[in-house]
Each structure stands twice: as C-alpha cells, then as structure tokens.
Chain A
Amino acid sequence: MNLLADQAGVTQAVDAPAIWTTLEALPQLPNRLVGWIGFQMNIPEWLATLLGLLVSAAVVVGVFLTCFALVSLVERKTLARIQNRYGPNRVGPFGLFQPVADGIKMLTKEDIVPYKAEKLLHLIAPIMIVIPAVLALGVLPYGKEWVPVNLELGLLFFFAVGAMTELSVFIAGWASGSKFPMLGSLRAISQMVSYELPLLISAMGVIMMTGSMSLPAIVEHQSQYNFGVLSNWNIFTPWGLVGGIVFFIACIAEANRCPFDLPEGESEIVAGHMTEYSGFKYALFFMGEYLGLFAISGLFITLFLGGWSAPIAGLEFVPTWLWFFGKLVCVIMTMLWIRGTWMRVRMDQLMRFCWLFLIPLSLLTIPAAGIWKFCGEGFLAGLLGWGVTVPFLIVPYIIITVILNRRLAPATRQYHFAE
C-alpha cells in the first residue's frame, strides 16, 4: 500500500498519518493497478492510455451507481422519518438490501410498450437520459488527484451535455404516444430551458473570478485560505452567496425535484414522461435522474462550496474526495428535506419565479462579481468589496421582491362566526 501511495505522488501532507495518505490515493488504485500490469506486460502506450481512460470511467460509473443505490434507500428512509414512518427495513439489516430487491423487481418486470408508441424512440429515450448524466459526472473534480477527465472547458462541456437531458425527456414524452407523457414532457422542456438560464448566468461570476472554465482550476482557486484559516469558497462572498442560492434553486428545478417536480407531478399527470415506461426502462429513467442529480449537485459544490477543499485550514489531512462526498451528502439531504416538507408550485408560478426573480438576481451577480474582483484581495479590500457589493445586491433584491409581492400579496382573510 505504501508503494501505491508513492506512486500516486502524494507529496503534500507529509506529516499526515499514512492511513490518510493511502486513502487519498484510493480512487487511483484501479488506475495504478492497470498501469502497473500494463507496464509489466509491456503494452504499447496508446493502449495504456485507452485502458487508463476506460478504468477512470469505470470507477466513476461504479462509484455513482453505488451512490444511486444508497441514495434511493436513504431518500426513502429520510422521507419516512420526516413522515413518522420507519421506511424500508425488511430486506437485510436496516433494509440495506432494499435497492437490490428493487433492482431485481425492476429487471424481472414486463417491459410494456404502448401500441401507439414510436418503438425505436421509446427505447432510445431512457438510454439517452443516462448517457449525458454519466458524461457530466466525468468532468467533475472529486479530489485533488481524482479528476476523471480534466477538460480545459469543463464547465462548458458540463452544460452542453446537461442540455441533452431535455432532449431525451422530450423524446420519451413524444414517443410514448400518450397524453400524460406529452403534457409532462412539454412541462419539462419549458421548465428546464428556462431554468438553464439562471444556472448558466449565476455560474458566470465564478468564471470571472477564476478566469478559467476548467473545473479543477475553479476548485483550486477556492482551496486557498483567507488569513490562513477561513476558506475562500465562493459562497462566502456576497455575489457568491446570491449566485449560489440562485444556482441551488435552479439545480433543484433542473433535477426535477420538489417543489419543482412538475414534469412528473404525481398528483396531476401521473408520472409525466415516465408514465408509459415499465421494467428496466423505467429503472433507467430513475437512474438517469439520480445520476443527473449527483452531477448537478456536484457542480454546485464545485462552483460554490469549494469542491474538494476543506472548510477550515488544518483539516486538509482528510482525503479530499471525502470532503467532496461529504458535501454531496449535505446537498442531497437538503433536497430531501425540501421534498419532505414542501408542496409543488404551478406552471405559471414556476415560470414567473424564474423569469422575474431568479434571472434578474443572477444577472446582478455578474457586475457584483466584477466589483468584487476590482476591489482586490486583503482585509481592507475585502471590507470595501463587502461594503459596495452588498448594497448593490440587496437594494435591487428588495425592489424586485416588493414589486412581485405587490402583485402576488397573499390576502389576509376574515372569518366570521354565526350563532
């Protein structure tokens, strides 16, 4: 194992315990192993590179499929706890094998294709929803040493493949040849296209700050510490806070989670674009949705929550990917909490919220980030930055909310009592 650590080239954290160093290198284990075997067998370099990439991809897919299984269980158990229930606890200890049972059930179920469906497209749609999610997961930096594919324009790539999800949802809705899926996919298209705007715009500030679209560089920029202790995460700046909140809300909408789960709004349009799917195709949809959720949450963490960096200085000895996954758990738990307690909005309210509130607010973060950058670094500059950008953001925010509230003010009601 020590040999492995040396090979991984972990030079930092010299005085950290060996176990942490080893753990840090753990995600590289398959890669190193394959590399070592290839070296022993004297294979050509192109084959080694190809094998390396394949193994990296396999690691990402394997890790996130495990996450998917776990999260599907955790989601049910957390929601159950919110609702005074136990949740699944029959299969294995604490219901841990429930995902396995679910998987077997899904795989052995009959695959029903409606008579009026476009057979080929009906088959392609669930496959198409998984692919972009996996592609998007491929560019995220999970740890200091663990970046499956390090792209110079990683962020752009992420958004580009993320947009493919909409296509597959629309194909699913159209190909089913049924009305509820059609309505669901119409809702999904308008929702996802609209919410992609605040998502992109609020990420602009981060790009301006870092001067790069490379995701590892963005994390690297946030992994320094102010005054030696305080972390330099984007969310701890005024523009980053606003951008982060907008980004998080847009994330929930992009992942079709409550309170923006209109495309599959169960009480209204049954299951939206998934209504006519059963068996393994349905499972694929389910999987694609969760992988997409991981990807978008991971991007939120990367852009605003400092990616793999530790929250305060002195904790860097913990393996960086542990930080990343810890943050991922926090973000997903917040989404579950929201799902357990809130109800769904209506389509026009959803659109109004996006176009009249989120987009103006996210546009504001761009000049705010510019001012922040102009103010520079250091204690006094930081104070100046806060002093200028906070009013710059707060005043328009108040104006927007006042205008919106005037139109939407919930009326106070009078109730009378008759004898």
Chain B
Amino acid sequence: MSVKENILSKPTLETGADEDQLLRVSLGPQHPSTHGVFRMNVMLDGETVVSLKPVFGYLHRNHEKIAENIPYLGSMPYTDRLDYLCPLTNNHAYALAVEKLAGIEVPERAEYIRIITSELTRVMNHTVFMGFFLGDLGAWGSALMYAFREREKLFDLFEELTGARMMTNYMRFGGCRNDLPAGWIEKAKTFVDGYDAFLDEMESLITGNEILLARTQNIGQVSKELMVNAGITGPMLRAAGVAYDVRKVDSYGIYDRFDFKVPYGEKGDCYDRMMIRFLEMRESLKILKQAIADIPEGDYVNPKIKSAKFKAKPGEAYARIEGPKGELGFHLISDGGVNPYRYHVRPPSFVNLTLIEDMCLGLDLADVVVILGSVDIVLGEVDR
C-alpha cells in the first residue's frame, strides 16, 4: 500500500455520516501536544473520531544503522537520545544486552548503582509524565512546573554522578563509568526520603479534581487480550489488569533481592494509567531505600573488561529491562568483529503507540490528546 493510500484511508468507525461530511484533520507534525514531531491523520465526524492513522518517522535518524558501523561502546551515547527523558535506563538495557552477548560479569556494587540510577530515572519519568499529562488536559503548565522542580533535583544528582544532566552516557560493559562521588549516596538518600511528601502533595492536588476525573475516567480503554496481543507493556498494560513486570519476570540484575510489589489496576483507562504510575513511583522509592541502605563497597566496574577494541564472540543476545515506559529491549547479533553485525531496539513507546486508533475511535478530538498523553511516548524512541 502506498503512503498516499494510507493517509486517505476510509473511516474505520461507522457513524452513518456521509464521507464528504467528514473532516480530515492532520494533527501534527507541528502541534502543541504531540510530544514531539508525531502526526495523526484524524477523520472527524463533528468532533468524533471515526478514523485515526498515526504517521511516524519525522524524527528518524538511523540509530540502528549507525550502531552497526561503530564499535559497541560507541552506541552508548546514542542510547541516551532514544528516550531522552530517561537516559539511564536506556544505558542499562544496552549494557545488559552487550554483557549477555559477551558473557561479562558485573560487580555487585555496580549492580546496586545501576538499580539506584534506574529507579531514580523511573521516578523522574513518571513525575514528568504527570506534568505533561495535565498539560494535555489543559492545566496550563502548573503541574509541569512542579514536576520540573523535582526533575531539577534529580538532574543535579545525575550531573554530579555522570557529568551530564540529560545525556548521561554512564553505564559501561561490566559496570559503570565511574564510582559514586563522595557524599552522593547521602544526597540521594535525602532526595528519596523527601519524595514521599512531594508525591502526597501531587496526589492530593491532582487526583480528587472533578474535571480530571471526568476527563480521564472511562477514556481510552482497550481489552486486555488486545493489549497483550499487540505487545503493549509497562504501566499501560498493568493499568489494564495484567500484572506483568520484567523486573519480576526476569529478575535481571539483582532485582530479586528487593522487596517490592507490582501495582496493577482493573479498567485500564487514562485515570488508571495515571494512578498506576503514582503507585509505581512509591514502589520505586521502596527499592531505592533498600538499595541505598544495602549498597556494598567494591568495584564499580569489572576490571577485566577493556573498553577499547572491545569484541564479542559470534552469537546473538536479547536483553530487556522494565523501562519506565515499558519493556525496553536490545537485540544484538555479533559476527566477532568490533562492531555489532545487527543492532535492534525494541522501544516501548513505539509498541505502546500501535493501539492508538483502537483507543481513540468514537471519542472526542479532545480525548485523543489525553489518550496520547496517557500512553507516555517520547518521539526520540518511537522514530529512532
């Protein structure tokens, strides 16, 4: 099917309206609330959505092909730019894939550092999600600014640890790039201890609001089966009532040592998606508290690993983690050279977005924006 045909496709929802009475609106690629350069071709009957075709690719930058032409470590900074809101989990997933491919042991301290940074990233992502989500609902930036205030504190932590606020480039094969700076763990502890109070404040400000309830409840539901079949993961799947969390299923790293639970909802509407993220943040704080208390002394990186001229034996490996947005996987095939032979990313944003039409059909144009916000995408990851 050619691109043109796809764009002009017929409505998928029968409303009884003549086709020439329908209005075709192109939401994006330049639109205030598409979270980047994403485009939706929406057919409207009045304001009711009768068909919605997502158009990807405006931010495509050849991430996977570039990775095949540079050494393994060279892709590490690029992974920061996938989901630029949570670079450290991207680093983590990629490092895990290479370690699986090359059979590298990771020292215990490095595992702890990885878990602390990943969970901090999860907290950061979900906090910022609240801000963007309310922005999509029309709360002109207030919630976003409150979320950004907290994100600044996290950025300060990341900056001290990695030297960069957003593009961290921190994980290495067999550990991390550098050890925790002196006093960092205390700062992280102060932050984590104070975060419950912020979450309480945010929840009390947001969750009882009647307009929010009316705008998000029973909006954007799809059946569990369809979600599982479409490969949806992360908070979106858990909100629909499937308790699936890679941290529990795979117990990668040392996640089996921590005491935490997987919250899941029932209805799977936008409201549930938001609340699940609140609950997840609280579980993340639990993990963080345990990890910060237990972190051992030792090597922060496997001393046997040389980053320069790093080679993996021929073979293939797929490693996945529970990213803030869902299952983030890296698939690597090695032919024994310095560059990966094949490099593939399984981005949660992209896969979660595939059901957008099913969620939006029959609803208002205003709901489309809310649903897109509740999926929580980053276009850097969708288009790669």
Q: Does B141 touch A at the CB level, under 8 Å?
A: yes
Q: Does B364 touch A at the CB level, under 8 Å?
A: yes
Which residues of B have CB within 8 Å of A109?
none
Measured CB to CB, the nearest residue on chain A to B242 is: A418
Q: Does B149 touch A at the CB level, under 8 Å?
A: yes
CB<8 Å pairs between A and B, sample of 17: A179-B24, A179-B25, A182-B23, A258-B140, A262-B366, A267-B33, A269-B365, A270-B32, A342-B139, A343-B138, A344-B211, A345-B214, A413-B266, A415-B279, A416-B243, A417-B262, A418-B248
CB–CB B266/A414 < 8 A: yes
Please measure, in the bound complex, the distance between the C-alpha atom of A85 and the C-alpha atom of B365, giving whole angstroms: 31
Q: Does A347 touch B at the CB level, under 8 Å?
A: yes
State which of B25, B134, B275 has its C-beta within 8 Å of the C-beta of A183. B25
Number of residues of chain B lying within 8 A (CB) of chain A: 49
Q: Does B47 touch A at the CB level, under 8 Å?
A: yes
CB–CB A268/B140 < 8 A: no
Number of residues of chain A lying within 8 A (CB) of chain B: 41
List residues 330-368 of chain A with CB under 8 A from any CB of chain B.
Answer: 339-349
Which residues of B have CB within 8 Å of A341?
139, 142
Q: How many A-B residue pairs have CB under 8 A?
A: 127
Which residues of A have CB within 8 Å of B31?
270
CB–CB A346/B364 < 8 A: yes
CB–CB B146/A419 < 8 A: no
CB–CB A82/B142 < 8 A: yes
List residues 293-309 of chain A with CB under 8 A from any CB of chain B.
Answer: none
With A84-B145, A410-B213: A343-B275 Cβ-Cβ less than 8 Å: no
Q: How far is the CB of B75 from chain A (nearest CB, A)?
A: 34
Q: How far is the CB of B192 from chain A (nearest CB, A)?
A: 20
Please measure, in the bound complex, the distance between the C-alpha atom of A309 and the C-alpha atom of B320, giving whole angstroms: 70
Q: Does B276 touch A at the CB level, under 8 Å?
A: yes
CB–CB B364/A419 < 8 A: no
CB–CB B138/A415 < 8 A: no
Please measure, in the bound complex, the distance between the C-alpha atom of A266 and the C-alpha atom of B365, giving whole angstroms: 12
Q: Does A180 touch B at the CB level, under 8 Å?
A: yes
Q: Does B357 touch A at the CB level, under 8 Å?
A: no
Please measure, in the bound complex, the distance between the C-alpha atom of A121 and the C-alpha atom of B44, giving whole angstroms: 26
CB–CB A340/B366 < 8 A: no
Q: How far is the CB of A232 from chain B (nearest CB, A)?
A: 34
Q: Does A79 touch B at the CB level, under 8 Å?
A: yes
Which residues of A have CB within 8 Å of B6?
none
Q: Does B381 touch A at the CB level, under 8 Å?
A: no
Q: Does A265 touch B at the CB level, under 8 Å?
A: yes
Q: Does B267 touch A at the CB level, under 8 Å?
A: yes
Q: Does B261 touch A at the CB level, under 8 Å?
A: yes
Measured CB to CB, the nearest residue on chain A to B146 is: A84
Which residues of B have CB within 8 Å of A343?
134, 137-139, 209, 211-212, 215
Please measure, in the bound complex, the distance between the C-alpha atom of A325 and the C-alpha atom of B365, giving whole angstroms: 40
Measured CB to CB, the nearest residue on chain A to B259 is: A419
Which residues of A have CB within 8 Å of B170?
none
Please encode chain B, from 26 to 61, with 1 for each CB lying within 8 Å of some chain A CB and 0 for all others. Answer: 000001110000000000100100000000000000
Q: How far is the CB of B31 from chain A (nearest CB, A)?
A: 7
Q: Does B383 touch A at the CB level, under 8 Å?
A: no
List residues 389-419 of chain A with CB under 8 A from any CB of chain B.
Answer: 408, 410-411, 413-419
With A83-B141, A180-B25, A270-B31: A345-B215 Cβ-Cβ less than 8 Å: yes
8 pairs of A and B residues whose beta carbons are closest in the complex: A344-B138, A418-B243, A83-B145, A417-B261, A410-B213, A267-B33, A343-B139, A343-B137
Q: How far is the CB of B154 from chain A (nearest CB, A)?
A: 16
Q: Does B135 touch A at the CB level, under 8 Å?
A: yes
Measured CB to CB, the nearest residue on chain B to A82 is: B142
CB–CB A410/B210 < 8 A: yes
Supplied contacts A258-B138, A415-B279, A418-B248, 16 more A-B pairs, CB within 8 Å: A82-B142, A84-B146, A261-B138, A268-B365, A268-B366, A269-B365, A340-B140, A343-B134, A345-B211, A345-B215, A346-B214, A346-B364, A348-B364, A413-B271, A417-B263, A419-B262
State which of A267, A410, A415 has its C-beta within 8 Å of the C-beta of B265. A415
Measured CB to CB, the nearest residue on chain B to A411 is: B217
Which residues of B have CB within 8 Å of A83?
141-142, 144-146
Measured CB to CB, the nearest residue on chain B to A408 is: B214
Q: Does A259 touch B at the CB level, under 8 Å?
A: yes
Q: Does B295 touch A at the CB level, under 8 Å?
A: no
